[in-house]
Amino acid sequence: MTWRTTLPLLAVSALASLPVACSSFDFLTEVGTTQPSAADCGGCHVEIFEEFQSSAHAAAWTRAGFVAATAEHEITDCLGCHAPASIYVDGPPTLREARREEGVTCLSCHFDAGAMVGPIDSSALVDPHPVLVGRALYRTSELCGKCHEGTYREWRAAPAAGRMTCQDCHMGRVVRTATQGTSAVSDVLVSFEEPFEGRRHTFHVPIDGTIEHVLTADICSVEHGEEALRCNVILTNGLPHLIPTGDFGFRWVKVAMHALSPSDVPLATAETSLFKELGDALVPGVPRSFPVEFPPATASVRVRVTTGSRSGARTTIFEQVVPIQ
């Protein structure tokens, strides 16, 4: 016997000693007036569950700003995308019956026709639930566009050459198995899964340097006066969507420009804010000019761009020192 045939036997005999039989996993696909929780999925998909818990998707129903904006979940038109039954519908998702507090949960994105749909070929010894391979949808921006309607429209309008998918930036790559062992028995089961390149479920805003050219900054048309130095700071959005993007939640961008002396001492600051609601957002690939007047001794400008929203989150998405020629 090769190890490939020995180990399954070992695993199956290990399974037989489990207090629960395999059929006790049937509840994983019982979806309607009740449904399994994300934590149930997390019993095997340990890492994905932990990542999901930290994501904005897990907070989509309970977030204070959303509760207030919908008069405590009374405005029914608003609810479908925030506690969706399924993405497998024409048009935007509809509100589900069970476990709304989990927001955009595992089953919202992965359940169709009685099975868990995902992008990978199964390599596991035992699938406790049926698996359907639907690679195309999971690797495209279209999936995200089911709910991120405005951002998806912006993405489609952005220059197509080299355009990355939403997943490329908001779900970091990771090589691992789909499940992780949590006991001697599940360790054996997981040992049959082949690690593959999947993606993190943090749905985070990528500011960790993994994405290049979020923005580029340049300085042009410098005028050296006696009283002041006039120049234009040019910012170009390298993303395939607006900065800021998002249809809800009142988002802004703050552009701060600090004049620095030859020895990097701050001499003066100019600041300006852009509001998406005012049609002010930075458009992909289109340079935007910010004219500033600084002291004549200015040798370089530090440009810092921060995004924020009403919910209070602030993120510095760009910082660079640009020398004045």
Q: Give min distance, CB of 63 to ligand HEC, in A.
A: 4
When binding is defined by CB under 6 A, the residue of 7, 8, 14, 70 that contacts ligand HEC is 70
Direct distance between the N- and C-terminal alpha carbons of the chain, in angstroms, rounded to an integer: 73
x-or-dash string of contact with ligand HEC, 121-160, rule CB under 6 A? -xxx--xxx-x-x----xx-x-xxxxxxxxxx--x-----
Residue that the structure tokens 């709304």 belong to:
100
Q: Does 216 bind ligand HEC (CB under 6 A)?
A: no
Q: In the window 240-269, what residues touch ligand HEC (CB under 6 A)?
A: 240-241, 243-249, 251
Could you tell me the smallest distance in angstroms from the CB atom of residue 258 to ligand HEC?
21
Residues of span 269-298 touching ligand HEC by CB under 6 A: none
Q: Which residues within the stretch 163-192 sit at the binding site for ligand HEC (CB under 6 A)? A: 164, 166-171, 178-179
Alpha-carbon span 301 to 267, nearest angstrom: 10
Give 90-96's long-range contacts (Cβ < 8 A, gap of 24+).
92/146, 92/147, 92/149, 93/146, 93/147, 96/35
Residue 80 found at the interface with ligand HEC (CB under 6 A): yes
Indicate whether 11 belongs to the interface with ligand HEC (CB under 6 A): no
- Minimum separation from the CB atom of position 74 to ligand HEC (A): 11
Among 295, 308, 302, 304, which Cα is nearest to 323's? Answer: 302
For ligand HEC, the closer of residues 49 and 294 by Cβ is 49
* Residue closer to ligand HEC, measured from CB, 127 or 271: 127
In 70-181, at which residue ranges do the beta strands (DSSP E only) sit?
111-112, 115-118, 131-133, 173-176
Q: How far is the CB of 292 from ligand HEC (least distance, A)?
A: 22
Task: Please report where in the chains the tokens 């019956």 appear, as a residue.
Answer: 97
Beta strands in the chain (DSSP E): 111-112, 115-118, 131-133, 173-176, 196-199, 215-224, 229-237, 251-260, 266-275, 288-294, 300-309, 314-323
- Contacts (CB under 6 A) with ligand HEC, residues 15-44: 25, 28, 36, 38, 40-44
CB atoms within 10 A of CB 85: 19
